[in-house]
Structures are given as C-alpha cells and as structure tokens.
Structure 1
Amino acid sequence: MALHKDLPPLLALRAFEAVARHLSFIKAADELSVTQSALSHQVHKLEQYLGKSMFVRRTRAIDLTADGQQYYNEIRPALDIIAAATRAQRVAPGTTVLRIGLLASFATLWLAPRLAGFLSRYPHIQVELLPAIQLANVAAAHVDLAIRYGKGGWPDVKATRLMPEVISPVCSPAFKASRPHNAPLLMATSHRPFEWTDWSRHYQVDLQLHPRVMLHDYNIVVEAAVAGQGIAMGRHRLIERRLQDGSLVEAFDWPPYHSDIGYWLISPQGATNEAADCFGQWLKQACGDA
C-alpha cells in the first residue's frame, strides 16, 4: 500500500503539532506566521480527516482530548526525526551536529521542554534527538551521546548519573474511585519491570495476582493510565504535569519510593568532542536544577 494513502494533509499536521505543543492557537499562529483563522481551518481539516476531535475548546483555553494527546505523543517523535533529517541536509557552515539517543518518553516529557535553553546558549550546535526503544549504540558511534534509564552497569561506555527517579503507582482518579479487583499493571515493553520489582519489594506487596499489560513505550503507558486502563508506575520526573493537573493520582496509600533507578548520561570511552562536552555540562546542570 502506498504510504501517501495513510498520510494526513501535512500542512494540517504541522498546524496540529504547533497548537498541541503550545495549547494555544494564538502562540501557534505566531510561530507559523499565519492567521488564527487559517490555523483553525487546518486543524479542523485534520479533525475531519481523522473523523474525531483533537481538542477540547473552551472560552479562554484549549486542551487535548485523550485521542488528541495520544496522537500528539505518537507523531511528535516522527516529526522530530523528519526535522532532524532535514536539518542534516542544510547544516550551516560552522555548525556542529550532535546526535543523542534516548527513549521517546524522556525526550517528550522532560528534555524537549528544556532544550531551548541549550540551543540559545550554543547556537552553533545542532542537536538531533534520536528516540528508540533499543539502547542507542554509543560505543559504535551510531550516536555521540545517549541518555539511559536504569541502574547503570552498561559495558564499554562511560555512564554518569544525572538524577534519581522517584516512583509510585499512579492511575486516573476515576480508576482509583472504582477500586477494581486485581487491577492491571501497565508496563512498557522497552524495560524489564525492575520498577515494579523494586517498589513491591520495598513495600512488601505481592503483585502476582495483578495481570500485566505490556505497551510499546512509556508515553503510551502514561496515556493509558490517564484513560483509566490500569495502574502505571509513575516516574515523577516525567509525569510532573499530570500529577499537578490531577489527571494522575497515587494509586495506593504508600509514599513515593526514592529508588536507585535514575537517568544516566552515556558517552563513549575516551575523549569526546566539544559539542558533546558542552551538552553534557548543560544537561548535568539542568538535571541538578530539576
């Protein structure tokens, strides 16, 4: 089947991404240098194409619907890859390209909102985020740096701990109120379930009777939990906005667990280039301020 048959109108997709990122038609229109009317028309065109609403429109604010949030989370990494590929073909003289491998969830929920600070400080460094489930191969120079989630101990690379993670089971308020028996545990297939193992051992909770639902990526795990599909292990660094707006709440009465799991900066053994050094220093500072 030809690829173009499944692609939505690309101008409409670009409009949707900008509005979803800003949650504002005004800001998105300013960014794209179009009128709000033209932008609204493009978003409506995409909604017609998909056959569903992507936004909840209120008097003075908008928000994504559950479908809209899921669609945004799934297309954003693809758009980032397209943007990175395009930038690579038009690199300005004197620009250094820095390739960083990482999980899509960390890129979307934590790094992307902060990346402008690095780019404003180092405009000559072009950052390419390469999200993937598999561990990015720093040793083979497929990427210059990587950001990994875990407990360390990876061979053939240098690993610097950036920040620890605080974890606790979370779910939607409605799901918690229904208190279903043997609620399903939502897990990302990209990781061994060490979060659940560590948490259950710490609080001496038997999880054997809870079914497991394996999902492709942690972004999807979060959205499934928001949609009331089960209990996710909340990584507080990544779901801070969801906890603040109340779309996710603590599933149990135990306090959050300060685990040994964290985020690590991965670099090749030996010397790194100036761009990698600059990004590493900036990222350590950003994580320290988080």
Structure 2
Amino acid sequence: MEMPKHLPPLLALRAFEAVARHLSFIKAARELCVSQSAISHQVHKLEEHLGQPLFIRRTRAIDLTCTGDAYYRQIRPALEQIAQATQELLAVPEQRALRIGLLASFATLWLAPRLADFSRRYPHIQLELQPAIELADVAGAEVDLAIRYGKGHWPRVDSTLLLAEQLSPVCSPQLKATALAHAPRLMARSHQPFEWHDWSASHGLDLSQHPQVMLHDYNIVVEAAVAGQGIAMGRRQLIQRHLDQGSLVDAFDLPPLHSEIGYWLVTARAASNPSAQCFALWLQEQVEASMRNSDTSN
C-alpha cells in the first residue's frame, strides 16, 4: 500500500500542533525538547509544503491565520488518535489470572502442597483456584479449565483422565476397634453416590445397617472420620497422608476398588490458552511423579 500523496512531513506536523496549542514557539520547543529555531524551521517547512502561512507573527506574540486555525482543528483529533493507539500498543497488558474450577478437597489435600513448584517454574502465571461443590462451567468460560471428580463423559467439553482413584471405606483405628458395627457412613454434598454403591457391589456387601450422615464437603468428611465420628469413603489419592500416619485405616480389611472413577482435566473444546496449556502440562508431570512415588513406596 502506497503512502498517501498529500501527507505532510510528520515532524513538521508535530511541531505545528505544539505551537498552535501553546501559541508559543518557546513553549512548543520546551515540550518537544528541541531548540526554538528547530521548531521555527519545521513550521516554515510545513508552510512551504502547504503553500500558505499558518501563523501571524508579531513582535511579542503569534496567532493562527484563519487557514492555520481550521487546519489545526482538523489535524489535532488525528494526532490524538495516533498517540492513543501508540500508548495502548506500548502498554504492558494486564495479567489475568488463570481460573481453575475444582473441588475444595482436591485443592486442599492434593493440589495445594504442590503449587509452590508451579509458581517457581511459571512466575508469570497467576493462579486463581475456585473451589466449589457445583461443577464449574468450562464451556461457558466461567473458568479456564477444571479438575472434576467422577467417571468423565461431561457434555460440551474435552475430558482427560489425570489420576485414577482407588476407593475403600476408612475410619479411625479407635472406631474400628470399638464401634464399627453400626457406625454411620459419613457423606458429603460433593460425594458421588456411585462411590458407596460401586464399592459395596464389588464386594457383595450390604451396608444398610450403617446410616448416612451428610456433611458439607469431603474435607469435613475426612476430618470427621479421623475424629472417630464414622466411616468415610476413602479416596486414597487424597487421604494417603492419613493412611501413612495411621490416623485412618481400612474399615473392612478389603481391597480398594479400582474403577474408572478419577480426577479429570476438563477444558473447553478447541481451547488455546497458553497459560492453561502450561498448567495442564505441569499437572500431568505432578501426576506422573506421584504415581512413581506411590510405586516406590509400595
């Protein structure tokens, strides 16, 4: 594309605008950090280009000619627009946090202890964890990505299994030794109803003698089980620390259930957020490391 034929010298145009605004060669020179003679030279150059005077020069003052005044009013909005466009281009873009929807239990028991490594490796990416019992709307851009617990197959999103879960009922050692027979099953609003059904069905057990007690979320369920208040469905990926410490034990001495239940990375279809991609790769590395550590400990 060719340069417009009637575009005047831009340095001369800038000098003219400053002089016209201040009605002073001295003030214009100070603003543009050049000499007064340089300003006069540029204005004269523009007048020659246009073929007519733009200023009335008096002994102690100057004024715009009618032509100069009309020309100034027309070019000033264009120069302001150029300045604004340049300022926006040079401005440092505001960093937006990477929003991650997930259950509070996964955030607290598995993710949080590992986040220092992410911050060290990606200091330019700010994370905003949004724990909630309800599923975050990834497809509707409520969050950038989510970590969901279940069996996958959610509509309108892409799901990748991160971490398969192993389920087995757990309780405190004291409860198991003294009052297991009719201890309540501790459940949370975030609990998936298939957890107890799938586990009991796999072992042919009827757990109806254990009444249900509903709590707010899985973190509270775990703490209540540690305190001897009942039996929790142990998500072993989240409670491994309690199992290692002995504050929780298997309630029925039966093997855990291995199934398609697990933690899934959920993204919008055709998503291309670079920060989300960095987090997804890092998350996969953490999963692989935790699996290696688990194999080593076993």
Give your verdict on TM over 0.5: yes
Find the residue that maps to 2:126 and give its secondary structure. Answer: strand
Secondary structure, aligned partner of 1:237: helix
Residue 236 of structure 1: aligned partner: 236
C-alpha distance in 2 between matches for 1:180 and 1:262: 27
Which amino acid is the alignment partner of residue 228 of structure 1? G
Asked whether 1:286 is paired with 2:272, we answer no
Structure 2 matches for 1:187-226, cutoff 5 A?
A: 187-226=187-226
SS at match of 2:238: coil
Amino acid paired to 1:195:
E
Gaps of 5+ in 1: 1-91
| Cα distance in 1 between the residues matched to 2:148 and 2:218 | 13
C-alpha distance in 2, partners of 1:134/1:271?
22
Equivalents in 2 of 1:237, 1:192: separation in Å? Answer: 16
Q: Deviations over 1:231-289 (max 9, x none)?
A: 00111111111111111011012122222210000101112210000001111111122
Query: Given that residues 191 and 218 in structure 2 are in contact (C-alpha distance below 8 angstroms), is that contact kept between their aligned partners in structure 1?
Result: no
Query: In the aligned structure 2, how far is the partner of 1:114 from the partner of 1:178?
Result: 37
The aligned runs of 1:53-72 (5 Å cut-off) are none
What is the identity, as a one-letter code, of the residue corresponding to 2:258? H
* 1:187/1:193 contact within 8 Å kept: no
Correspondence list, 1:62-101, <5 A: 95-101=95-101
Are the counterparts in 2 of residues 118 and 282 from structure 1 also a CA contact under 8 Å?
A: yes
RMSD, matched Cα: 1.3
C-alpha distance in 2 between matches for 1:252 and 1:162:
28
Counterpart CA distance in 1 for 2:254 and 2:181 is: 18
Equivalent pair of 1:164/1:260 in contact (CA under 8 Å):
yes
Give structure 2 stretches of 5+ with no counterpart: 1-91, 291-298
For residues 127-276 of structure 1, what are the structure 2 equivalents within 5 Å?
127-276=127-276
> TM-score, length-normalised on structure 1?
0.66
Is the contact made by 1:170 and 1:233 (CA closer than 8 Å) also made in structure 2? yes
Q: For each residue in 1:40-85, what CA deviation from the matched residue of structure 2 results, as whole angstroms up to 9, or x when unmatched?
A: xxxxxxxxxxxxxxxxxxxxxxxxxxxxxxxxxxxxxxxxxxxxxx
Tell me which residue corresponds to 1:118.
118
Equivalents in 1 of 2:206, 2:257: separation in Å?
16
Shift in Å at residue 117 of structure 1? 1.1
AA aligned to 1:156 is R
Is the Cα–Cα contact under 8 Å of residues 96 and 124 in structure 1 kept in the other structure?
Answer: no
How far is 1:96 from its partner? 4.3
Residue 107 of structure 1 is matched in structure 2 by: 107
Cα distance in 1 between the residues matched to 2:259 and 2:221: 20
Contact 2:161/2:264 (<8 A) preserved? yes
Runs of 4+ in 1 over 3 A off after TM superposition: 92-96
CA distance in 1, matches of 2:271, 2:259: 31
Q: Look up the equivalent residue of 1:166 and give its one-letter code.
A: Q
Q: CA deviation at 1:162?
A: 0.2
Cα deviation per residue 1:78-125 (whole Å; 9 max; x = unaligned)? xxxxxxxxxxxxxx9664410000000000000000011111111100
CA spacing shift, 1:266–1:133, aligned 2, 3 Å: same
* Residue identity matched to 1:221: V
Which residue of structure 2 lines up, in the alignment, with residue 277 of structure 1? 277
- Figure out how many residues of one structure are paired with residues of the other and give that number: 199
Mapped to 1, the partners of 2:259 and 2:270 lie a distance apart of 30
Amino acid in structure 1 at the alignment position of 2:283: L
Question: Deviation at 1:142?
Answer: 0.8
Which amino acid counterpart does residue 204 of structure 2 have in structure 1?
Q
Structure 2 CA distance for aligned equivalents of residues 94 and 274 of structure 1: 15
Kept in 1: contact 2:147–2:264 (CA 8 A) = yes
CA displacement at 1:140 relative to structure 2: 0.9
CA distance in 1, matches of 2:195, 2:180: 22
Give, as a single letter, the amino acid of the residue that structure 2 aligns with 1:263: Y
- Using the size of structure 2 for normalisation, the TM-score is 0.65
Aligned mates of 1:148, 1:103 — CA distance in 2:
7
Q: Would the aligned equivalents of 1:167 and 1:256 in 2 still touch at CA under 8 Å?
A: yes
Counterpart Cα distance in 1 of 2:240 and 2:190: 21
Native 8 Å contact 1:105 1:217 kept in 2 = yes
Match of 1:283, SS state, is helix
